[in-house]
Amino acid sequence: MASNDSTGILSSAYIAAEYIDTLLPDNPLQPPFKYAWTYMIDNYTKFQIATWGSLLVHELIYFLFCLPGFIFQFLPFMQKYKIQQDKPETWESQWRCFKMLLFNHFCIQFPLIFGTFHFTEYFNIPYDWESMPRWYILCAQCFGCAVIEDAWHYFLHRILHHKRIYKYIHKVHHEFTSPFGMQAEYAHPLETLILGAGFFIGIMVFCNHVVLMWAWVMVRLLETIDVHSGYDIPLNPLHLFPFYAGARFHDFHHMNFVGNYASTFTWWDKILSTDSQYNNYMDKVKAKPEKKTK
């Protein structure tokens, strides 16, 4: 009976989402996107799309999302939003970060991307336009991937902070106590594999079209670059999502080294009380202006 009720609720939600979709005006971006997608399918092989297309998506999106944070350091009026204002970025640290990124992207991540074609072939994942899921299904799948990755990241990240193994792997990522966007994937190669595995679990669970892999890449990179940006920007649309961690939450992890282990959401840290030091710190920060007014 409970199973039938659950199925009924899911079916009703799906029908409601479809109905809402019919009420929305036509998306002006759909025709050019459809043209570009069908052109890609007609002119490139699945291997080229899955391999070189995925690499291109990752590199373009990563450095495009890093660009605003890179520009912020040259804008004086943006410095009031920098979380650790006493630790500005340096050219030396950014160059060191960039070199490590190139190694990780092309020597660690690219071999994984190279297996994308074989993954899609093994699970018979389609590429064609007609099989592409609707936008609301794609959003739900990306959210599901984020929930799974966040759980994986929390527990494996916390293990990497264990005193017996921290100095061998995760210490590399913590070379920067004041993070900046480009540093999001600055990590030991083993950490790239260990924490990066969480990215693929959601894909294995939800993937019914190759577009989900690219959409999830975009969502995950947007999130991780945002939390590593070092800037708490007002009116950040990502903060509209309940339990979203954000830059200030993760910045404290780099500054304190203990607590705030989750990647995207705050619920694991709340449930397991690993955000207690952060909460105490924020209480002190909020209390400072009050003392000055007395």
Q: From first to last of the 294 residues of the chain, give the pLDDT tens digit.
A: 444 554 454 455 445 555 555 545 555 557 888 899 999 999 999 999 999 999 999 999 999 999 999 999 999 999 999 999 888 888 999 999 999 999 999 999 999 898 999 999 998 999 999 999 988 899 999 999 999 999 999 999 999 999 999 999 999 999 999 999 999 999 999 999 999 999 999 999 998 899 999 999 999 999 999 999 999 998 899 998 989 999 999 999 999 999 999 999 999 999 999 999 999 988 888 887 654 444
Task: Say what the pTM is.
Answer: 0.85
Beta bridge partners of residue 265, listed in sequence order: 244
Tell me what pLDDT residue 9 has: 46
Strand boundaries in the chain, DSSP class E: none
Tell me what pLDDT residue 292 has: 45
Alpha carbon distance 245, 226 (integer Å): 10
Tell me the one-letter amino acid at 209.
Answer: H
Alpha carbon distance 196, 241 (integer Å): 23
Tell me what pLDDT residue 12 has: 54
Tell me what pLDDT residue 287 has: 82
Tell me what pLDDT residue 70 has: 93
Tell me what pLDDT residue 30 has: 72
CB atoms within 10 A of CB 209: 21
Using alpha carbons only, how large is the chain's radius of gyration in Å?
21
Tell me what pLDDT residue 21 has: 54
How far CA 289 is from CA of 197, 248, 249, 273, in Å, comes to 43, 18, 20, 27
Q: In this structure, are residues 62 and 217 in contact, taking their beta carbons and an 8 Å threshold?
A: no
Tell me what pLDDT residue 13 has: 47
Tell me what pLDDT residue 129 has: 93
DSSP state at residue 209:
S
Tell me what pLDDT residue 183 has: 93
Alpha carbon distance 245, 221 (integer Å): 14
